[in-house]
Amino acid sequence: MTEKNNSDFAALFEASLSKGGDYIEQGARVKGTVFQVTPKNVFVSIANSKLEGILDIKDVTNSKGEVTVKEGDTIEAFNMGAGDGYLKLQKRMNATDVDSSVQDAFEAKIPIEGKVTGENKGGFTVEISNTQAFCPFSQMDVRGATKEHSEYIGQTYSFLVTEYAEDGGRCVLSRRRLLEEEAAKMRDYLKDMLQVGDIREGTVVNVMPFGAFVDLGGIQGLVPVSELSWTRGVQTEDIVKKGDAVTVKILALEWGDGEKKERVTLSIKQATKSPWEKIADGDETYAPGTRHHGKVVRIADFGAFVQLEPGVDGLAHISQLGQEARVEKVEDVCKVGDEVDVTVLGVDLERHRISLCFGEPKVKDEKPAELGAEAEAELVAAAMGEKVTGEVDSLKPFGVFVKLPNGQTGLLHISQCALEETGPGRTREMYRKFPLHSKVEVVIKEVNGDRLSLTLPEVAEAEAEKDIVHNYHDQGNAEFGTLGDLFGNLKL
């Protein structure tokens, strides 16, 4: 400490004693409450004392130029000395601050900046001012990091000095400890900030068959494929791509308790009002008699399904397909992918049904045709990623056929049955686990025309997490919405 700083601090110390305050050593970690934020500084009221501190605004500004604290926030920082009636605070030490005090930083557990200059057996060499330090490979990043060693070289990070001996001849660092501490703080912060039902802005950081991962600015969550769009049966890559800015709604927040993992589940489609909500609110877009241009998306024996907009499909009954002669087969009039002009005959808000006819309605047949029970069941098509409860319809050595509520039947392959047995006993276990006509909850794994592949919810979750392990650090450390290890990409 310089003579001037000694004088300043002594004066401040005397002033603090006269106010009944407490002496705070240089290098000590302090906690306080922000009482003023200016364009250049942040002023802090030090906890349990009459002292006040001042922090450079740059120390609380993120890489986007955003100030990360506001009045009333509680922050922690290090006392770097006194001057102008304030304690000078810093969130971390710069290399110039510890030129001759690496040992002080070690003893005070103050983060210091260092530049990674190379690697040798077992770790990286790091330059902290005039001190050559060593950071083991395992301490450079969070567990499971997949970056190449070369990606760290040349970068400047903050480290903790975990070992200091031989007058600086042995100086060992850890960046991982800082990342883990920051993750713990962020986790507590997010617990207070995020609420189910919140609408947030985010960025797509990873696209997978089962959904998309969205970064909310320090925490990433999963948008399941079924929550991407009001259109049913979509593929993830058809809706979003990496780097897209999206608006999401928080559907679920599960904060782990040591045994249960933390998860954030999001929805893109629920961040906006569904088309049917608009119709229910009085939107006259699909009033009877209105004309529309749509696309045939599915064909059944009793008629053609026409998409009017994402999330809104109508049914043109076979009796409403021909203007002149009676239509015997739907395929004689249209095929999937055809663009057609239709007229709305009626809207059933309760069941989300729109009855259509091709072209102009027939005068004698304006009332929508009644559908049989089988046709009614087929009105709901299965969507990939959807979770439904079905009934075991039959069992085969290769899997279980499950009948879904909409009348469709899907295959739960034996590999998706979460069985413990192996070999011949595997089939016997499957028969015991899924009795005929029993109820079973399944997830639509894949839709291929009329063929549905199913899986169990726990198998879908396990496969999703397995996929994410391979993409975790390449995509900004996104692990199925898990909070615990999401902060390895923070530049500390």
Which residue type is seen at 342?
V
The answer for 477, left when phi > 0, alpha when psi is -120 to 50, beta otherwise, is left
DSSP notation for 417-429: S-----TTHHHHH
Report the chain's mean pLDDT, rounded to a whole number: 78
Q: Please report, to the nearest 10 degrees, the dihedral formed by the alpha carbons of residues 276, 281, 283, 289 taken in order.
A: 80
Q: Tell me: the pLDDT tens digits for 36-56?
A: 999 999 999 998 888 899 998
Residue-range domain boundaries for the chain: 3-90, 95-174, 275-378, 387-458
The CATH number of domain 3-90 is 2.40.50.140: yes
396 CB neighbour count, 10 Å cutoff: 12
Confidence band for 382, pLDDT divided at 50, 70 and 90: low
The CATH number of domain 95-174 is 2.40.50.140: yes
Specify the CATH superfamily of domain 387-458: Nucleic acid-binding proteins (2.40.50.140)
The CATH number of domain 275-378 is 2.40.50.140: yes
Q: H-type helices in 403-474, by residue range?
A: 425-433, 457-471
Q: Tell me: the pLDDT tens digits for 61-84?
A: 887 788 889 999 998 888 877 777
Q: Do domains 3-90 and 275-378 have the same CATH topology?
A: yes
- In angstroms, the CA 28 to CA 393 distance is 69
Which of 154, 157, 233, 246 has the alpha carbon at shortest distance from 200? 246
Q: Tell me: the pLDDT tens digits for 383-409?
A: 666 778 899 999 998 999 999 877 788
**Bridge partners of residue 103, in order along the sequence:** none
User: pTM higher than 0.85 for the full model?
Assistant: no
Contact between 282 and 324 (Cβ < 8 Å): no
pLDDT of amino acid 427: 87
Which of 360, 273, 371 has the alpha carbon at shortest distance from 315? 371
Give the contacts of 444 (CB within 8 A, at least 6 positions apart): 382, 383, 384, 385, 386, 387, 388, 410, 452, 453, 454
Higher pLDDT, 160 or 9: 160
Residue 482: pLDDT above 50? Answer: no
Higher pLDDT, 102 or 175: 175
Residue 108: pLDDT above 80? Answer: no
Q: Tell me: the pLDDT tens digits for 441-453?
A: 998 887 776 678 8
Residue 16: pLDDT above 60? Answer: no
Which residue type is seen at 84?
D
